[in-house]
Amino acid sequence: MPRFALLLTTLIWGATFPATKAVLEQIPPLSFLFLRFLLGALLVGGGFLLWRLRLHREPAVLRASAIATCWLFLGYVLQTVGLSFTSASNSAFITALYVVIVPLILRRFDRRVWVATGIATVGLWLLVKPNASGNLGDLLTLGCAIAFAAHIACLERFTREVDAPSLFAWQMMAMVGLLLPTLLVEQPPAQAFAPTALLLIGLGVTGGLATGAFAVQLWVQRIVPAQQVALIFASEPAYAAWLSWYFLGETLDLQGWAGSGLILLAVVVGALGSGPQSSSPSVGTVQPA
């Protein structure tokens, strides 16, 4: 059940690529990120009130939230700005390199994980065929992949040490606080915030659905090891490529479909092969910062 839930959340993560790429035609990237996380923070606050959850303020919770938010902030800024300079499918491929990076950070070298990682990497390459020359957007997105890998590793440890809902809420609020000053840097025109269908749909996918997906991720990472989470997330660029093909006209040829199949095979090989460590915290192996 946790892995199936994570696959559904991955579909939402994949949808954020074409949604963000499209909405950047109207609003600058950091301003959009601010709106996205402002909406997310409001939804999380509403959830805390609805379910009468307690927001923990212990030093351990605040410290864990601060460390995780640093990686989350860096990842989203680099990814969203990078999308201004590269395609949605290129961005999805490079971001998904955290499939390889997470086991390296955690120093976990299980054979099944590495076989699945190899299959996923080949599949990702076939799927989106990133330009060999590269560009600024690709470079920024590579930094984003490293940051997201560190964030996944952090969540494995912190969701088992502190109150997960509070960890989630503090991260959302901290993202809003960190992104607010960027409005002064970008100085977006007033028309950038016009409530067009494009902006509303983009915020619905990234600020609404993706916030729920993030909450599910925190729940799953209390149960599933981080390297398996990363492998399940390998299906994200497949979803992104399919949705980019449908909504943005980015092509998906026979080679792309073959790559998608390999990605799904990698998910089955890696994610379903849980060993004894699947339910153990493995705290000592995590390098959060």
Tens of pLDDT, residue by residue over 8-24, are 899 999 999 999 999 99
C-alpha 68: how far from its chain's center? 13
If 0-12 CB within 10 Å is exposed, 13-18 middle and 19+ buried, where does residue 55 land? middle
pTM for the model stands at 0.84
Phi/psi of residue 174, each to 5°? -65, -35
One DSSP character per residue, 83-123 reads TTTS-HHHHHHHHTTHHHHHHHHHT---HHHHHHHHHHHHH
Residue 283 has pLDDT above 70, yes or no: no
Q: Average pLDDT over the chain, rounded to whole?
A: 86
How far is Cα 206 from Cα 32, in angstroms, rounded to an integer? 10
Share of the chain above pLDDT 70, in %: 90
Check pLDDT > 80 for residue 198.
Answer: yes
- Report how far apart, in Å, the C-alpha atoms of 16 and of each of 30, 92, 146, 236 are: 15, 10, 19, 10
Q: Pick the most confident of 9-13, 246-250, 277-281.
A: 9-13
**Structural domain tally of the chain?**
1
Domain that holds residue 249: 2-185+192-285
